[in-house]
Each structure stands twice: as C-alpha cells, then as structure tokens.
Structure 1
Amino acid sequence: MTDLAQWLAAQSVDSKLASVVASMAAASAEIAGVLRMAPVAGQVGLVGHTNVQGEEQKALDVISNDVVLKHLRENPDVSILVSEELEEPVELGTDGAYMIATDPLDGSSNLDVNVTVGTIFAVLNAADGLLQKGRAQLAAGYAAYGPATSLVLTFGQSVAVFTLDSAGDWILTTDNPRIPEASGEFAINTARERFWDAATKGYVAENVAGEHGAAGKRYNMRWVGSMVADIHRILMRGGIFLYPLDSETVSKGGRLRLLYEANPMAMLVEAAGGDATTGREKILDLQPTAIHQRVPVILGSADEVKRVEDWYAKG
C-alpha cells in the first residue's frame, strides 16, 4: 500500500509545496476526528453570529477554521491564509512561498443530519498576490467526511484519492480516476427553478424528457446540498453539478466562492478529464476581483458541460 508521504515523495513537485499539501491533509485528519465526536461533545449547533458571507456560523465551522489555521501556522512554507470564515486574509508571519485558500467546512448546514461534508483548498504562489486565476493554482484538494474519510488531491496532471485508516494514515485507494465524458446523472437544486435562466431551464428540461427528448437518454437527478459530496460522486462515477447564475443570485455574481470553492474543484475536475464553466467562461480562466467573489459553477462530465455551454451560446 502507498501512503500519502510516499505518494508526495514520488511527485515531481518542490518538497516545500508537498509539505503544504501534507499540512492540509493533517488538518483534514484532525477535523475528521472532531466531526466524528461532535454530536457527543455538543458541537453541532450555531455559535450565534454570522461569517463574512452573511451566513450563520456553526460551531464546527469555527472549530474547523481554527484547526486549519493551527496546522498552517506550524508550517513555515505558508505565509497567507484566505478562508471563507475570515473577512480578511491572515498573514502568518513567515516568509513562506505559498498561500492557502480554503473553505474549512463545506456543507455544514448538513451537519445535523449526518450528511457528508468536507474541506476544500487550493495552494497558490503567495508572491503573485491574492487574486490569481485558477490556472495559477499549484495544487488543489478536498477532504470528504463520509462513511469513510477521503482526501482527493491534484497537482494538475492527474488526481489521487486517499482514505484515512484507523491509525490516522492516508492510504492511496484510487489512483488517477477519470470522469466519464458522458453521464446520465445531473445535480441541481430544482427548488430554485423559478429563478433559473433560459439556458438552465432548457438543459434540465431535455434531461427530464429522457429518451423522448433531445438528449435521447434517461437521466437521474442527484442533489446532496454539500458541494464536496456532489463533486466526489461525479469524480468517482460521472455526472454534472450545476449552481448557475439565476435571477436571485445575479446581484452577488453567483452562489459559490471562486477562490476556495469553484477554482479548486474546477482544477480537480479538469485533471480527472472533466470540464468546468460558468456557462459562458471556463472557471479557471476567470480573473478574481475579490477574495470572497461569487461565481456560477457548472462542472463534471465533459459532454454534459458542453451541452450546457451550447444552451448558453444560443443567447
């Protein structure tokens, strides 16, 4: 069996970059332990205030952010942290070459029903500033805290999936997964249909029509409401995830955050053979304008993403 340390040593990347990924892996392993015992410890509820996004913070949002911050403070190769839970970037007081952008606990609204949640992160060159295009990411990953705890990583060329064992080690369990080009599954929150634009309505209507529609095949809809859970399913078996721009989110630019949700997930999906778009532009080509910028997100199996882009191209 190959563990994370052995896998990192075999990658053609700088050892300091590998150490930053290892720090995020260690933070994720600690968060997994915290989540496992959170109901017993009474840590599942709210903390009584909101984060910079205007969202009510869960106790575990704050705890997870603190865990990430602790591990990064211990790594001199990291100089800046951008987090969903913090209004401003944190300068860690080092001359480290790298910056981390992270959502420490994605999907935390699902904690009370024990649904898979996760940690998402990207690693960038700190010298290039806070607002870098997704193509500049040096590494990306997420941890999925489900029946098993998974860690999914890329340095841009391929993807590796690790599983946390009982001894606390990350063991390589799937090497170079590939997202099928075609799929019969789509993930979208259909309760928002009244807000959708014409392209989204057209694409979903074709899928719902099944073999009698323009798509010519049956589809199943899947929607967890936890981005990590939905993307992990797509990575392992294909499909498409849509959180498009709609009439309610247009004033904010979208729903999901570019730096620490859309960009790292787009990097992982593209490295596994999929595609990622806003409908009109590739996510990884977007120029960020703010650290908490929101964007539309459509990603997954390449053929399905192309169909959505074709709908947008109709005007």
Structure 2
Amino acid sequence: MAKTLVEHVRAGLDAERGAALAELFAALADAAKQIEARIRTAPLSDALGAFGHTNVQGEQQQKLDVFANDAVIGAMRALPSVGAVVSEEDDEPVVFEGKPDARFVVITDPLDGSSNLDVDVNVGTIVSVQAIVAGEDARAAALKPGTQQVAALYVNYGPATMLVYTVGKGTHAFTLRDGEFLLSGEHLAMPEQGPYYSVNEANAADFPQAVRSYLTKLRDGSMGAKYGSRYVGSFIADFHRTLLKGGVFLYPGTAKAPGGKLRLLYEANPLAMLAEQAGGKATTAGDANGGEVRRILEVVPTAPHVRTTLVIGSTAEVSAFGDVAAAAASQA
C-alpha cells in the first residue's frame, strides 16, 4: 500500500524533526479535509458567495475564505509546536499564548483562488513554515527570506484533491483517498522546458517592455518551439499544471500594481521552494519600470502581506526571462 503523508515525512527526516513536522502536516491535512468537504457541497449548503467583509488586502472575503481560515487556525492552535499563524485573512499574526516550546510559525493563504468558487474552478491552500529561534517573536520569525523556510506545501482541490509538500528534500505529491493522503508522486521533476506559458494577457499593454518582449519570444518560436497559452486565473491550478507539465507562469507588475499583486510570504515563497526542489526556478519579474530580477527565495520581506512580481516554472523559460530582462535593462 502507498505510504501515507505522515509515514513519508517521518521516513525522510531524523526522529525528532520528523515527529514534529509529521504532527504539523497531519494537522494541516486534517484542516484540508475539512475544507475539501465544505467545497464539495458548497452549492448545496449556502457556502458560496461573499461573507460581507474585506480582508487586509482590500479583497472581498468569500464565505469559504472564512471557513478555511478558521479551519487552519483551529488546527494550528491545538499544536504545542506552533506559536502563531500569519494568514492572508488576518491583519496581524494570530499569536497563541502559553506555548513556551513553540518551534514553528505557519504562514498561509487558506483558500487561494476563492473568487473562482462560484464557477467551480480549482482552488487551493498554500502553506509556508518558518522556524522560531530563541528570542524571536512571531512577526520576526515570519519575516525571513524564503531560503530559511522549514517546509512548504499546497493542497489543490480539483478533480482529485492533492497535497504537494517539501521539507527541502524533493517535492512529493499525495492524493486524498478514503480520508487519507496517499503517496502518488515521489521526487517530482519539473520538465526542463515546457509547452505552455501562463499569464493574464488582458493586462499586456501595462506590462513592462521586458515582459512584452519575452511573451513575443514564447509565441514566435524563437525559443525552439511555439508555446500554447494556458491561464486558469487560480494560482494553484496554474502552478500545479506548470509543476507537472513544465513551462512558465508570470505575474508581472502593471501601472496599477507596479510591485505585483502576489503575496511573497504565503504565495510566492512556498511555491518557489516547491518549484526549486522539483528542479525549477522562481524569480521576480522586476517591477512596472523594469527593475532588478532576483531569485524569489532571497527577497527579504518587510511586512507580513508584502507583495511581489513572479516568474516561476521550468529552468529554460525562467532563465530566458532573466536574459530578456537583462538585455532590456542594458538598453534602458
């Protein structure tokens, strides 16, 4: 029988670290099962639609955003090892008092892509885990570059519900069956070059020149093949396809959002770690004026909800973007 998530985590780490992370992942998996069950019946249970509030991002909260946030925070609150949760849905970190031995801060987008729920498109849960070291408060523990992440995972609620995780030793996939996440893909390898690019081209007129030039290269065959366009508009769905099939996902800056719109801590960082562990790459896309292209995991966050541009995917495509951006900068 296929290994369970907990068995796989324990087997890949030393006894102490494996036990702590296995407990954490088991709790996150339980929260994901609650979210999955609510999503499956949402059209029948008045669980769709707006909740009536906006979050710190200024985005309209969906009813399932609130449910997912409560599920993740509730699961983390019960663990002695988790000292705080930083969530997209909360203005400030949710700090759990009375946990002197807390080792982790969990940073999460509890329900990524929730605006797509009304039309039954894949959504997901994204998690980054950072360590608490002696003397750190929750905010300081969260505000570290992605290179210091202890673990990262996402859950893709689709035709099959899949959990994909890394603890820095490869990227591994599990599929939910009969209430258990079972190993369905070990040491995933993102193709070095892929057939698809993914970007919201409705905003192309507002993209930096380097991004527009790069998209032209993808379309005209100058990178060795003509690419197909695939864009779901749910980050998890687009990334999951890119992880398995290869290619590139871009979220550049625009005139309206020059620094990008994805959140560094709980969207870009965890997926960048998963991409790199599968052999891919992740960088910034500069900004609306060009700007420096940097490895996402080396960006130092300045606030819990700081935003970023993003280019993530196969090595060939992400490296090619860096070359195009460098050439554009030299001509500016």
TM-score (norm 1): 0.96
Contact 1:120 1:264 in 2 (8 A): yes
Give yes or no for the alignment of 1:53 onto 2:67: no
Give yes or no for the alignment of 1:284 onto 2:288: no
* Deviation of the 1:34 alpha carbon: 1.0
Letter in 1 for 2:84: I
- Distance in 1, Cα, partners of 2:73 & 2:315: 35
3-state SS of the aligned residue for 1:49?
strand
Partner of 2:12: 11
Contact 1:185 1:238 in 2 (8 A): yes
3-state SS of the aligned residue for 2:85?
strand
Partner of 1:20: 24
Where structure 2 has 5 or more consecutive residues not aligned to the other structure, the ranges are 286-292
Give yes or no for the alignment of 1:29 onto 2:30: no
Partner of 2:83: 79
- Distance in 2, Cα, partners of 1:28 & 1:102: 12
Give yes or no for the alignment of 1:308 onto 2:321: yes
Pick the aligned partner of 2:277 from 271, 284, 290.
271
Pick the aligned partner of 1:151 from 152, 160, 163.
163
* Deviation of the 1:174 alpha carbon: 0.7
Contact 1:17 1:98 in 2 (8 A): no
- Distance in 1, Cα, partners of 2:6 & 2:131: 22
Deviations 1:106-126 (CA, angstroms, capped at 9, x unpaired) = 000110110100000011112
Deviations 1:136-188 (CA, angstroms, capped at 9, x unpaired) = 000000000000000000001201100000x2000000111100111121000
Give yes or no for the alignment of 1:97 onto 2:98: no
3-state SS of the aligned residue for 2:41?
helix
* Deviation of the 1:194 alpha carbon: 1.2
* Deviation of the 1:18 alpha carbon: 2.5
- Distance in 2, Cα, partners of 1:164 & 1:82: 26
- Distance in 2, Cα, partners of 1:224 & 1:92: 36
- Distance in 2, Cα, partners of 1:110 & 1:91: 30
Letter in 2 for 1:121: V
* Deviation of the 1:246 alpha carbon: 2.1
3-state SS of the aligned residue for 2:121?
coil
Contact 1:182 1:303 in 2 (8 A): yes
Contact 1:116 1:144 in 2 (8 A): yes
Contact 1:270 1:276 in 2 (8 A): yes
Pick the aligned partner of 1:38 from 24, 39, 42.
42
Partner of 2:151: 139
Contact 2:195 2:245 in 1 (8 A): no
- Distance in 2, Cα, partners of 1:49 & 1:4: 35
Of stretches 24-33 and 277-286 in structure 1, the one that deviates more from structure 2 is 24-33
- Distance in 2, Cα, partners of 1:226 & 1:81: 23
3-state SS of the aligned residue for 1:254?
coil
Contact 2:6 2:25 in 1 (8 A): no
- Would you say how many aligned residue pairs link Structure 1 and Structure 2? 309
Letter in 1 for 2:233: G
* Deviation of the 1:240 alpha carbon: 0.5
* Deviation of the 1:73 alpha carbon: 0.9
Letter in 2 for 1:20: L
TM-score (norm 2): 0.91
3-state SS of the aligned residue for 1:216?
coil
Deviations 1:35-63 (CA, angstroms, capped at 9, x unpaired) = 11111101111011100000000000001
* Deviation of the 1:17 alpha carbon: 2.4
* Deviation of the 1:66 alpha carbon: 0.3
* Deviation of the 1:21 alpha carbon: 2.0
Give yes or no for the alignment of 1:262 onto 2:272: no
3-state SS of the aligned residue for 1:183?
coil
Change beyond 3 A, Cα 1:4–1:216: closer
Pick the aligned partner of 1:162 from 165, 174, 199.
174
3-state SS of the aligned residue for 1:150?
strand
- Distance in 1, Cα, partners of 2:282 & 2:224: 23
Residue correspondence of structure 1 range 120-199 to structure 2 within 5 A: 120-127=126-133, 129=140, 130-165=142-177, 167-199=178-210
Contact 1:80 1:126 in 2 (8 A): no
For the aligned residue pairs, the C-alpha RMSD in angstroms reads: 1.0
Partner of 2:253: 245
- Distance in 2, Cα, partners of 1:207 & 1:267: 25
* Deviation of the 1:22 alpha carbon: 1.9
Where structure 1 has 5 or more consecutive residues not aligned to the other structure, the ranges are none
Letter in 1 for 2:67: I
Sequence identity percentage: 43
* Deviation of the 1:64 alpha carbon: 0.4
- Distance in 1, Cα, partners of 2:182 & 2:21: 20
Give yes or no for the alignment of 1:297 onto 2:310: yes
* Deviation of the 1:26 alpha carbon: 1.5
Letter in 2 for 1:240: V
